[in-house]
Amino acid sequence: MEASIIVIGDELLIGQVLDTNSGWIARHLNPLGWKIKNVRTVADDSSDIKAAITNAFTETDLVLTTGGLGPTKDDITKQTLLELFGGEMIYDKAVEANVLEVVEKRHLKINPLTANQAYVPSSCRVIQNKVGTAPIMWFEKDGKVLVSMPGVPFETETMMSTEIIPQLVKRFAPSTHIEHRTFVVINYSESVLAMKLDEFEQSIPEFIKLAYLPKPGIIRLRLTGSHTDGSLLTSEMDRLSGNLAAIIGNDIIAFDDMPVEQILGELLKSRHLTLATAESCTGGNIAHEITSISGSSEYFRGTVVAYANDVKQQLLGVDTEILANDGAVSEPTVRAMATGACKAIGTDCAIATSGIAGPGGGSPDKPVGTVWIAAKCADNIVAKKYHFPGSRDRVIDRASTTALIMLIELIRNTK
């Protein structure tokens, strides 16, 4: 089955708000046998919305829209859908009751604009939005289905998971099985990895595809298979996954689509290890990434953002002579920072960074983008100098990812 997604809102077209709904919908529908044929972004303009829906229905039997369902005058999706599917605007008492319940849970008082959310086209079937005031509307015409959902990602994600996806599965019984297998690979450039896997790719059956998804510091390899015979598909995916693991070996750090910080967290938990960070140029970004993972308190104890040299000395115990002779951006400094973090915070492992993120502050010996990183696990410690190109944000991002990977490799190599 194929589906179209239409995201509605002027704020999306001017870049004020990023569209996360279409990606979430695609990730959750695809494993159920749905292929997303296209994603359209349109303005809060009735003619544009109608044209997008009309075009989408010529290509797919299912259209999912998000946005434009709020109570203000710029939210015109509901009225546009009424004009497109016919009927009249009616006041739905069930929607009113749901809106009152949602408002009361938020300890707010209903106002006339919010109360107007209870008006819905008579041509739709309402799915009550349990986490918001905008009702979800299900339209059917000529065997095709349109589901209109709010633009608020939390509301769309919650209601898609609990109500809409189960109803779509019931309404459209998928005949095709789809499977994904993702492998997170380090220590390769995309071209070198593609050369290594050339013979493997030639052995892949036509109903399975291999995709390269590079990010700074890692490459995600994704096997995607689609077949009417689910057992055959799983068997082939298992075989190819085993072959990939044999070819790439220890450079695969995860057999699932996980961010590096989660991979490190799972490794720390499995080894019963604790972690601290000592950050200068990354300014706490590594700690932020680590703590973005739910349950990170099980292994992460804290961080010292030692931006100034006197903080490196006083809180991390970096010797004055090291800073005077070698400088803050040096191997002895990051080694001392990592050791000091373990001691000060009481952990088994530590990551330390010190560098020049730019755009100013560089020198001929230490140009912008120079970063020293150290990783420590028990009595083992490694340190390495890197030169990361690009903007300040890019240098910080690359340094953070590289530091996480460095500790992953150190732990995996520590008996």
Instruction: Give the tens place of pLDDT for each residue, 338-359.
Output: 999 999 999 999 999 999 999 9
Average pLDDT over residues 311-327: 97
Do the beta carbons of residue 247 and residue 197 sit within 8 Å? yes
- Cα–Cα distance measured from residue 40 to residue 52, given in angstroms and rounded to the nearest whole number: 7
Residue 70: pLDDT band by 50, 70, 90 thresholds? confident
Higher pLDDT, 74 or 247: 247
- Inform me whether the pLDDT recorded for 396 exceeds 80: yes
Average pLDDT over residues 83-111: 92
Name the phi and psi angles at 70, rounded to 5.
-70, 180
Do the beta carbons of residue 157 and residue 24 sit within 8 Å? yes
Map residue 212 onto helix, strand or coil: strand
Pairing of β 119-121 and β 89-91: antiparallel
Residue 111: pLDDT band by 50, 70, 90 thresholds? confident
Do the beta carbons of residue 392 and residue 358 sit within 8 Å? yes
Over the chain, what is the mean pLDDT? 95
- Cα–Cα distance measured from residue 139 to residue 144, given in angstroms and rounded to the nearest whole number: 8
| Nearest CA-CA partner of 164 in 141, 191, 145, 182 | 145
- Inform me whether the pLDDT recorded for 144 exceeds 80: yes
Structure tokens at 223: 């096997």
**Which pLDDT score, from 0 to 100, does residue 31 have?**
85
Residue 414: pLDDT band by 50, 70, 90 thresholds? confident
- Inform me whether the pLDDT recorded for 159 exceeds 80: yes
Q: Strands of 17-143 (E only): list them.
A: 35-42, 62-66, 89-91, 119-121, 125-127, 136-141
Average pLDDT over residues 161-183: 90
Q: What is the DSSP secondary structure assignment for residue 135, as one 8-state letter?
A: P
**Which pLDDT score, from 0 to 100, does residue 112 have?**
86
- Inform me whether the pLDDT recorded for 33 exceeds 80: yes
**Which pLDDT score, from 0 to 100, does residue 114 have?**
85
List CB contacts of 283: < 8 A, sequence separation 6 or more.
305, 307, 396
Cβ-based neighbour number of residue 388 at 10 Å = 22
- Cα–Cα distance measured from residue 196 to residue 39, given in angstroms and rounded to the nearest whole number: 34
**Which pLDDT score, from 0 to 100, does residue 329 have?**
97
Percent of the chain with pLDDT over 70: 100
Sheet holding 300-305, edge to edge: 300-305, 275-279, 349-355, 370-377, 380-387
Dihedral, 58, 63, 66, 67 alpha carbons, nearest 10: 40
**Which pLDDT score, from 0 to 100, does residue 223 have?**
97
Average pLDDT over residues 66-72: 90
Residues β-bridged to residue 149: 66
Residue 26: pLDDT band by 50, 70, 90 thresholds? very high
Average pLDDT over residues 371-397: 97
**Which pLDDT score, from 0 to 100, does residue 109 have?**
84
Residue 415: pLDDT band by 50, 70, 90 thresholds? confident
Do the beta carbons of residue 337 and residue 374 sit within 8 Å? yes
Instruction: Give the tens place of pLDDT for each residue, 226-268.
Output: 999 999 999 999 999 999 999 999 999 999 999 999 999 999 9
pTM: 0.81
